[in-house]
């Protein structure tokens, strides 16, 4: 074939000649003059006919090119895109043959997708067979033009493809505070944020809450941390840019990012919206790695590290960004992204109802959020505390209905068999059976705090009234949005103490001593 020498794909197959990766661009964006930013990078398992096809496409008339429709599924559902293979196919680097092993993870739909791509490309190429075929074979007999036109019609009947906020934002550096070494002080530092990809939302971070787990991780008290570490997973800010496939956010929106910035997107948990329980592991907002191949920051050695909210900007896939209601104070909303969702999720998941009686054990940031959300939920809220000294704040400031002091036998006796659910936020050793005794029949004891030691109970504590002990870990993205909407509706923010970047190290010591009501929030304008 005359054009074979000029085909940009010809030398791009993998080392074993079976893989190639190509980018596809959105034709409507293109036609509207928005350039040719890739909307999707797809790895194809190459067969000889496809290599031929690619060569042919490169050489082909526009009409033939336009007949390639690709149906693909993203996190949020199925869309039909009208795509054309660009003449300037871009090679994204060598593809290791171990990618074959990743195909099964794609799932049945993924396999079907690849089948569809092949099918369409085969139509264009006029069928299989090494290197054979040419433009004169087009359109192939079995190419379903009617179906294709119908899909295009459907597509066009929908609201126009939103490309108004489409522009290219290159990678750029930003100021942050980081622990340069384990247990080191939090000091000014600079990190790079990635270019805004098609599904990305770029955020100007205004505030970041300090979560107790930030302290644990910056002090490297858990698994081996990645340093320098930029903590922060209670992020609130404003959108500064969105990628061309983002329709749910626009520049200027108030948004938040919580504990995760990515997940496998394929497991049962991800499919159910429980990305926090991703079976392959969510990519944590900091101290994690962009480990999934679908991510632009994925690298051959496991992905670039993630850096959190103690910084002035972040770029996050739209699937992991939530909208903060306009009426909420942005600084006070930041802690909702971890503390808020951590207590909201088990209330929702375990079916708490208005009118029920909710116990909240422990009155730190999580406990305070649980009281406020529980009240807004329509529950009678009982704070269960180890000492008397938080009674006033619980009752007056947080509007709890009752206050039980564990050291007070009368309190304990009166509260027996009275609660439908207890959100246990205590991260220290405590005696579970005493708390279980506060529950009614079918009562639920939800652990969201992690005591360092094992806890124990007797089967008799749960069997005779069919009680339940369960745990909960932050929440999924959809649930986080529900929580934010709920807080917006009820005007709930977390009470906070605003600090500048140079006070983070000091704040950490106070967090450890529980000397804060109820969250430190960092003002990133001070960086």
| Shortest CB 422 distance to its own copies, Å | 14
Q: Closer to its own copies at the Cβ: 189 or 430?
A: 430
Helix (H) or strand (E) holding 100: helix 99-125
Size of the site for Zn ion (CB under 5 A): 12
Judged by CB under 8 A, does residue 457 bind its own copies? yes
Q: Closer to its own copies at the Cβ: 2 or 456?
A: 456
Query: The dihedral of CA 468, 473, 474, 476: what is its sign?
Result: negative
Size of the site for its own copies (CB under 8 A): 33
Whole-Å CA distances, 228 to 176, 189, 193, 308, 507: 11, 9, 15, 11, 19
| Shortest CB 453 distance to its own copies, Å | 8
CB 318 within 8 A of CB 201: yes
Q: Closer to its own copies at the Cβ: 241 or 259?
A: 259
Contacts of 312 (CB under 8 A, 6+ apart): 174, 175, 176, 204, 205, 524, 527
CB 429 within 8 A of CB 449: no
Query: With CB under 8 A as the contact rule, which of the stretches 230-238, 267-275, 301-309, 492-500 interacts with its own copies?
Result: 267-275
Written as six digits, the tokens of 137 are: 């074979």
Judged by CB under 8 A, does residue 458 bind its own copies? yes
| Shortest CB 91 distance to its own copies, Å | 39
Judged by CB under 8 A, does residue 168 bind its own copies? no
Distance between CA atoms of residues 439 and 415, nearest Å: 9
Residues 424-453 that bind its own copies (CB under 8 A): 441-442, 447-451, 453
Interface pick for Zn ion out of 18, 206, 290, 390 (rule CB under 5 A): 290
Interface pick for its own copies out of 467, 481, 501, 520 (rule CB under 8 A): 467
480 contact choice in its own copies, Zn ion, none (CB below 5 to 8 Å, kind-dependent): none
Q: Closer to Zn ion at the Cβ: 147 or 171?
A: 171
Q: Closer to its own copies at the Cβ: 224 or 463?
A: 463
Judged by CB under 8 A, does residue 473 bind its own copies? yes
| Shortest CB 447 distance to Zn ion, Å | 15
Whole-Å CA distances, 73 to 78, 79, 113, 151, 302: 4, 6, 8, 15, 25
For Cα atoms 349, 355, 356, give the angle at the middle one, nearest 5 degrees: 55
Written as six digits, the tokens of 19 are: 């893989």
Contacts of 454 (CB under 8 A, 6+ apart): none
Is the N-terminal amide bond of 139 cis, ω within 30° of 0?
A: yes
Whole-Å CA distances, 396 to 180, 352, 372: 42, 24, 12
Judged by CB under 8 A, does residue 455 bind its own copies? yes
Written as six digits, the tokens of 320 are: 């992991």
Phi, psi (degrees; rounded to nearest 5) at 34? -90, 15
Residues 324-353 that bind Zn ion (CB under 5 A): 338
Distance between CA atoms of residues 283 and 192, nearest Å: 18
Query: With CB under 5 A as the contact rule, which of the stretches 75-83, 267-275, 379-387, 401-409 interacts with Zn ion?
Result: 267-275
Judged by CB under 5 A, does residue 313 bind Zn ion? no
Query: With CB under 5 A as the contact rule, which of the stretches 18-26, 244-252, 256-264, 487-495 interacts with Zn ion?
Result: 256-264
Interface pick for its own copies out of 470, 490, 506, 509 (rule CB under 8 A): 470
* Chain positions contacting Zn ion, by CB under 5 A: 211, 213, 262-264, 267, 270, 278, 290, 295, 297, 338
Residues that bind its own copies (CB under 8 A): 268-269, 274, 277, 279, 349, 441-442, 447-451, 453-460, 462-473
């Amino acid at each position: 074939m005359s054009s074979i020498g000029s085909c940009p794909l010809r030398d791009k197959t993998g080392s074993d000649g079976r893989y190639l990766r190509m980018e596809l661009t959105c034709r409507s964006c293109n036609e509207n003059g928005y350039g040719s930013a890739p909307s999707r990078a797809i790895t194809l398992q190459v067969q000889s006919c496809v290599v031929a096809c690619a060569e042919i496409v490169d050489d082909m008339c526009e009409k033939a090119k336009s007949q390639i429709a690709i149906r693909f599924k993203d996190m949020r559902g199925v869309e039909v895109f009208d795509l054309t293979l660009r003449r300037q196919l871009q090679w994204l680097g060598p593809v290791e043959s171990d990618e074959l092993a990743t195909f099964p993870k794609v799932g049945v739909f993924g396999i079907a997708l690849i089948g569809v791509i092949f099918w369409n490309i085969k139509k264009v190429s006029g069928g299989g067979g090494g290197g054979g075929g040419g433009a004169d074979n087009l359109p192939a007999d079995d190419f379903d033009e009617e179906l294709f036109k119908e899909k295009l019609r459907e597509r066009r009947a929908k609201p126009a493809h939103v490309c108004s906020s489409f522009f290219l934002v290159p990678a750029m550096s930003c100021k942050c505070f980081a622990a340069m070494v384990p247990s080191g002080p939090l000091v000014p530092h600079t990190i790079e944020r990635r270019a805004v990809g098609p599904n990305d939302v770029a955020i100007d971070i205004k505030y970041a809450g300090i979560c107790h787990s930030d302290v644990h991780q910056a002090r490297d008290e858990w698994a081996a941390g990645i340093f320098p570490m930029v903590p922060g997973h209670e992020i609130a800010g404003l959108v500064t840019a969105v990628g061309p496939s983002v329709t749910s956010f626009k520049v200027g929106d108030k948004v938040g990012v919580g504990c995760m910035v990515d997940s496998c997107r394929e497991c049962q948990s991800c499919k159910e919206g429980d990305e926090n329980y991703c079976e392959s592991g969510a990519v944590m907002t900091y101290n994690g790695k962009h480990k999934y191949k679908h991510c632009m920051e994925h690298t051959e050695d496991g992905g670039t590290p993630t850096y959190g909210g103690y910084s002035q900007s972040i770029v996050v896939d739209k699937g992991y960004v939530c909208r903060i209601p306009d009426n909420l104070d942005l600084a006070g909303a930041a802690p909702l992204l971890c503390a808020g969702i951590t207590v909201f999720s088990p209330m929702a998941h375990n079916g708490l109802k208005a009118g029920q009686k909710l116990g909240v054990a422990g009155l730190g940031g999580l406990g305070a959020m649980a009281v406020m959300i529980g009240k807004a939920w329509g529950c009678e809220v009982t704070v269960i505390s180890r000492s008397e000294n938080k009674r006033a704040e619980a009752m007056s400031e947080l509007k709890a209905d009752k206050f039980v002091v564990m050291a007070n036998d009368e309190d304990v006796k009166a509260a027996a068999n009275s609660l439908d659910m207890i959100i246990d936020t205590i991260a220290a050793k405590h005696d579970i059976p005493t708390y279980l005794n506060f529950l009614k029949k079918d009562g639920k004891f939800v652990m969201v705090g992690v005591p360092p030691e094992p806890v124990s109970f007797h089967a008799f504590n749960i069997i005779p009234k069919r009680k339940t002990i369960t745990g909960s870990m932050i929440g999924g993205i959809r649930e986080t949005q529900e929580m934010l909407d709920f807080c917006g509706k009820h005007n709930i923010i977390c009470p906070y103490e605003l600090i500048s970047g140079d006070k983070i190290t000091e704040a950490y010591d106070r967090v450890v001593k529980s000397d804060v009501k109820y969250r430190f929030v960092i003002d990133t304008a001070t960086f």
